[in-house]
Homo-oligomer: A and B are copies of this chain.
Amino acid sequence: MQLKVQPIDVKVGKYKVILNTIDAKELGVNEGDRVRIRDHETLTAIVDFTEDMISPGMIGLYHEVKEALNKEWTETVEVFPAEKPKSTYIIRKTMDGQKLTKEEIDILVKDIVEENLAEIEIAAFLTATYINDMTDDETEWLTRAMIASGDTLDFETHPIMDKHSIGGVPGNKISLLIVPIVAANGLLIPKTSSRAITGAGGTADLMEILAPVEFDAAEIKRMTEEVGGVLVWGGATNIAPADDKLIKVEYPLSIDPHCQMLASIMAKKGAIGADHVVMDIPTGPGTKIKNVQEGRKLARDLINLGDRLGMDVDCALTYGASPVGRTIGPALEVIEALKVLESFEGPNSLIEKSASLAGMLLEMGNVAGKDKGYDLAIETLKNGKALAKFKEIIKIQGGNPDVTHKDISVGEFTEDIIAPNNGYILEMDNKRLVQIARLAGAPNDKGAGLLLHKKHGEPLKEGETMMTIYAEKKSKLETAAKSAKERTPFIVEGMMLERIQSFKEI
């Protein structure tokens, strides 16, 4: 069928076109079907219907199709019904509980990366794998396909070290310490990190305060070879791009299918050529991993998948019921990390966790003897080598290496949250802390966040400050403070929540 072009300057992230219902019926296609558009080039697009937006005889081309075809208003294209892509049958197989072959997974990942699938098709795939899970073989093939779908780093020097934290615990700024400790001891650690989606600050959000974090794979390789480590944003690279497309659909569904999580984590490690990886698995209420049993299962699965991919994976179940350190939010976290590097001054939880995980990597990389890694990590912090290395990393990424914690500015608007009575802190609600930090503006407002004066298990006197909220905007401070007072993130023993009197006593 010959149809005249009507450009629709809306980006939909897919090849999509709109047909008038009359033409669609004539073509014999339904909404959600594909059409092939023949021009000098041939392109397959998903069909939307309209009864009035596009006149009969016209075809509405969304931005991506318009760009690909490069046709002007009322120029003519030839349109045919097209077969569904093979991936739709592959997705159907996962829905029917059938196992996929390596070839099928390769086709599926290719179609995901090339935006050939509608979001509802990806949603069906994710839901099916969430419910039916995947075998170890399928998960391995999925990981390999994700690695192959993007850029990879091939270092001449080995071993390559890496570290990953499963999300869920706020204030987890440990990569800012681990990467310099490991690199300072002569190992290569090209660390890609994420920005916060639902959190108050990802490592990339933090590092960005000190230096640019957006680099491509070749730049990451070059910088790592030069100074031993980097701290960059994975989202700016084309490393394992399938993962980003899947997350875009997982996020609104609030699911993270187990096999996808494994594949997603390990694909990023595989793509940078990691030989030795330490996994930080924060465990406890308010984290992704509710208890030690679940943590152990995840650890086994990660180790097993690593083994299949030729990667040496060690896992650390870490305490996740409280934040790491005493700060939440980009600038406050950077200050806390810099203080440890500059003067070995800071909360035990931060220093111990960072040194433990860095120590594991030092042992795996054979620069520390068995059980000597932790001590070497502490030593590397104390003797200033980690700070010196961090300055090199900041410099090579284009930041100012002379920066100190005093140069980092925090939000000018603050409010203290006061203890209403005596007691000690029985529980901290990680999710509430993150919520309040986000209301204050984190991670977008770098200076927004929380400074925790008191933590889990500590005693508290009436009138003492429990935490300080920082914000860059007055209105956000007010919203955050109001929320913190209405529903506190601290459970303090001895705090009477409410008193309900019987009628008799009135």
Contacts and interface: CB of A to CB of B under 8 A. Distances in A.
B32 A131 contact: no
A253 B10 contact: no
A24 to B, nearest CB: 9
A50 interface: yes
A240 to B, nearest CB: 19
Interface string A443-472: 010000000000000000000000000000
Contacts of A41: none
A120 interface: yes
Nearest to A24: B444
Given A33-B252, A92-B255, A131-B132, A444 B120 contact: no
A interface SS class:
helix
Contacts of A132: 131
A307 B253 CA distance: 35
Contact of A53 (B9, B26, B251): B9
A95 B31 CA distance: 26
A133 B124 CA distance: 15
Contacts of A28: 438-439, 444
Given A92-B255, A255-B92, A248 B123 contact: no
B131 A97 contact: yes
A328 to B, nearest CB: 15
Contact of A118 (B31, B131, B252): B252
A347 B321 CA distance: 75
Nearest to A253: B124
Interface residues of A, number: 45
Contact of A127 (B95, B119, B439): B95
Contacts of A120: 119-120, 122-123, 249, 252-253
B253 A50 contact: no
A254 interface: yes
Given A10-B8, A28-B438, A95 B252 contact: no
A11 interface: yes
Nearest to A443: B25
Interface string A241-263: 00000001101111100000000
Interface in A105-164: 118-124, 126-128, 130-132
A434 to B, nearest CB: 11
A88 interface: yes
A348 to B, nearest CB: 31
A197 interface: yes
A42 interface: no
Given A123-B120, A124-B123, A128-B131, A251 B32 contact: yes
Nearest to A198: B30
Interface in A82-104: 84, 88, 91-92, 95, 97
Nearest to A124: B127
Contacts of A444: 25-26, 28
A123 to B, nearest CB: 4
A353 to B, nearest CB: 27
Contact of A130 (B9, B53, B95, B439): B95
A50 B130 CA distance: 29
Given A11-B50, A127-B128, A251 B121 contact: no
A248 B31 contact: yes
A429 B347 CA distance: 74
Contacts of A438: 28
17 contacts: A8-B10, A11-B53, A31-B248, A31-B251, A32-B252, A53-B63, A84-B254, A92-B253, A92-B254, A95-B130, A118-B252, A119-B119, A123-B124, A124-B253, A124-B255, A131-B131, A131-B132
Interface of A: 8-11, 25-26, 28, 30-33, 50, 53, 63, 84, 88, 91-92, 95, 97, 118-124, 126-128, 130-132, 197-198, 248-249, 251-255, 438-439, 444
Q: Shortest 3 CB-CB distances between A and B: which pairs?
A: A32-B252, A120-B123, A127-B127
